[in-house]
């Protein structure tokens, strides 16, 4: 098979350079100096430099044809992965990972066009956070409190019903039947034996029905509370753990905030509803200062690892080398190493580098201990010679990696 210089040197394809003079200048003045800087961290760039020099010496043959063929091949690969993402569900994280995988070949706009995020009231602007609008399905001046909804839910569980409409035996839209059904429930309470513990349960539930279905506004209060009940449960168990940290740091994590919106969508809310509920819980002006988090701010583009960029290069080199080292090992090991590289590439806040790398290493230690227990760790996680040199400038970090040696 004829080798393609665009693919061998991982050259940009959107569009590919198609004139000899421009390609010669690009390779000599832009790419080769950059590759030379990276040779110590990633040996493949030494090969890139040699191949570029040879290609220029040959007069850059078949340039236009190779460019078209390379773009066709890579774009087909991009489309295939984009279709997989669309099938499984487009999320911000998946789109970001796809961009990271193909940004060396295509413009960000070209990639994102294939995996459009739903238009949403999360309003994830390119530059700033925009407050979402409250969807009609959740608008209510006085919804039933979550505390009361928990009590109602507990009572309904005792009688095997999912909500008050189910208890009355009608659909939510059949409002005209509600008064008669409430009277039927009252009779059922009277007819229930005083020795039956369910009598008290039914009596409490009848009181709720009589109150909530007496007036339209009260019924709306119950309907909205029922609609948001799954979220309120989630918030009470999960979201509450983020509040103190974000208030203490005076910073609402942009990425995590939007991940939480995706999690809320899984509770069968629309994008608009999920965006509003998360905003309302963390940032709404009506909240007391004890729980009101700052509006999330999008990390500055290009912040990445900042002053720690050299460390990133060392770590990525170390893990790439380990993937190659474990070419014949159990796929679990190779997949884990690849996932670590993805986690490293996702870091976009220099201030979070230390804690994030620490968490990654701790998680990796747990994984490696499990591999040893399962008997699939036949060789060290890292090639000893590589480990000895890759982190020589980071003695503390190097010590943390000794856990992965025999």
Mean pLDDT by 10 residues, the chain (406 residues): 81 90 91 89 86 92 92 90 75 84 89 72 54 90 92 91 92 85 92 88 92 90 94 90 85 87 91 93 86 82 69 84 86 88 81 87 90 88 82 78 72
The per-residue pLDDT for 317 is 83
**Residue 94: how many other CB atoms lie within 10 Å:** 19
* 234 in the same domain as 381: no
Q: Which position has the token pair 């409430």? A: 182
136 is a domain residue: yes
Is 124 strand, coil or helix?
A: strand
* Cα(154)–Cα(366) distance, integer angstroms: 39
88 is a domain residue: yes
Neighbour-count burial of 182, counting CB atoms closer than 10 A to its CB (0-12 exposed, 13-18 middle, 19+ buried): middle
- With CA atoms as reference, report the closest residue to 98 among 287, 345, 386, 377: 345
151 is a domain residue: yes
* 79 in the same domain as 14: yes
* 107 in the same domain as 155: no
* Cα(60)–Cα(47) distance, integer angstroms: 17
* 372 in the same domain as 282: no
Per the structure, how many domains does the chain have?
3
Last residue of a domain, one of 54, 88, 113: 113
121 is a domain residue: no
Last residue of a domain, one of 71, 91, 113: 113
The per-residue pLDDT for 300 is 61
119 is a domain residue: no
Phi, psi for residue 351 in degrees, rounded to 5: -70, -15
The per-residue pLDDT for 206 is 93
* 377 in the same domain as 231: no
109 is a domain residue: yes
Q: Before 15, cis peptide (omega within 30)? A: yes
- Give the side-chain half-sphere CA count within 13 A for 283: 21
CA angle 306, 32, 341 (to 5 degrees): 40
Phi, psi for residue 129 in degrees, rounded to 5: -85, 135
User: What is the distance of C-alpha 258 from the center of its chain?
Assistant: 7
The per-residue pLDDT for 290 is 75
118 is a domain residue: no
* 268 in the same domain as 140: yes
Indicate the pTM of the whole model: 0.48
CA angle 26, 32, 37 (to 5 degrees): 140
Can you read off the two tokens belonging to residue 257? 């905030």
Can you read off the two tokens belonging to residue 364? 């990796």
User: What is the distance in angstroms between the CA of the first residue and the CA of the last residue of the chain?
Assistant: 42
120 is a domain residue: no
* 324 in the same domain as 291: no
Cβ within 8 Å of residue 380, ≥6 positions away: 387, 404, 405, 406
* 266 in the same domain as 146: yes
* 109 in the same domain as 237: no
* Cα(349)–Cα(131) distance, integer angstroms: 23
* Secondary structure (H, E, C), 303-319: CCCHHHHHHHHHHHHHH
* 270 in the same domain as 137: yes
Cβ within 8 Å of residue 312, ≥6 positions away: 304, 305, 344, 347
* 276 in the same domain as 197: yes
1 and 62 Cβ atoms separated by less than 8 Å: no
* 164 in the same domain as 27: no
283 and 113 Cβ atoms separated by less than 8 Å: no
Last residue of a domain, one of 298, 319, 347: 298
221 and 144 Cβ atoms separated by less than 8 Å: yes
Q: Which position has the token pair 């665009």? A: 6
User: Angle of helix 271-283 relative to helix 254-265, nearest 10 degrees?
Assistant: 130
Cβ within 8 Å of residue 333, ≥6 positions away: 326, 371, 376, 377, 381
Residue 328 lies in domain: 306-404
38 and 10 Cβ atoms separated by less than 8 Å: no
* Cα(68)–Cα(73) distance, integer angstroms: 9
* Cα(140)–Cα(5) distance, integer angstroms: 62
Long-range contacts of 332-337 (CB under 8 A, 24+ apart): 332/371, 332/376, 333/371, 333/376, 333/377, 333/381, 336/364, 336/367
């Amino acid at each position: 098979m004829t080798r393609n210089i665009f693919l061998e040197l991982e050259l940009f394809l959107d569009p590919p350079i198609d004139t000899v003079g421009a390609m010669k200048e690009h390779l000599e003045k832009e790419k080769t100096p950059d590759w030379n800087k990276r040779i110590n961290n990633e040996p493949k760039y030494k090969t890139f430099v040699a191949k570029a020099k040879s290609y220029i010496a040959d007069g850059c043959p078949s340039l236009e044809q190779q460019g078209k063929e390379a773009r066709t091949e890579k774009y087909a690969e991009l489309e295939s992965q984009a279709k997989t993402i669309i099938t499984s569900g487009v999320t911000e994280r998946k789109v970001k990972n796809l961009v990271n995988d193909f940004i060396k070949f295509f413009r960000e706009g070209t990639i994102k066009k294939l995996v459009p995020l739903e238009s949403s009231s999360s309003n994830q602007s390119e530059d700033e956070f925009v407050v979402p609008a409250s969807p009609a399905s959740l608008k209510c001046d006085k919804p039933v409190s979550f505390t009361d909804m928990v009590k109602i839910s507990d009572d309904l569980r005792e009688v095997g019903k999912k909500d008050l409409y189910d208890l009355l035996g009608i659909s939510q839209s059949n409002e005209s039947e509600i008064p008669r059904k409430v009277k039927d429930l009252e009779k059922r309470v009277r007819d229930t034996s005083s020795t039956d513990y369910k009598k008290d349960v039914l009596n409490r539930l009848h009181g709720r029905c009589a109150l909530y279905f007496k007036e339209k506004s009260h019924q709306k209060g119950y309907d909205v509370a029922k609609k948001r009940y799954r979220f309120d449960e989630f918030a009470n168990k999960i979201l509450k753990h983020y509040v103190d940290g974000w208030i203490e740091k005076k910073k609402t994590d942009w990425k995590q905030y939007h991940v939480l919106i995706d999690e809320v969508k899984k509770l069968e809310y629309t994008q608009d509803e999920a965006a509003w509920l998360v905003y309302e819980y963390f940032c709404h002006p009506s909240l007391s200062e004890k729980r009101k988090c700052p509006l999330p701010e999008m990390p500055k583009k290009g912040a990445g690892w900042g002053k720690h960029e050299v460390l990133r290069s060392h770590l990525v080199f170390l893990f790439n080398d380990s993937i190659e080292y474990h070419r014949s090992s159990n796929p679990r090991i190779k997949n884990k190493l690849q996932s670590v590289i993805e986690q490293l590439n996702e870091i976009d806040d220099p201030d979070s580098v230390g804690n994030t790398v620490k968490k990654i290493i701790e998680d990796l230690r747990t994984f490696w201990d499990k591999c040893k227990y399962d008997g699939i760790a036949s060789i060290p996680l890292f090639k000893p010679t590589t480990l000895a040199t890759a982190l020589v400038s980071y003695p503390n970090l190097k010590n943390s990696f000794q856990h992965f040696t025999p």
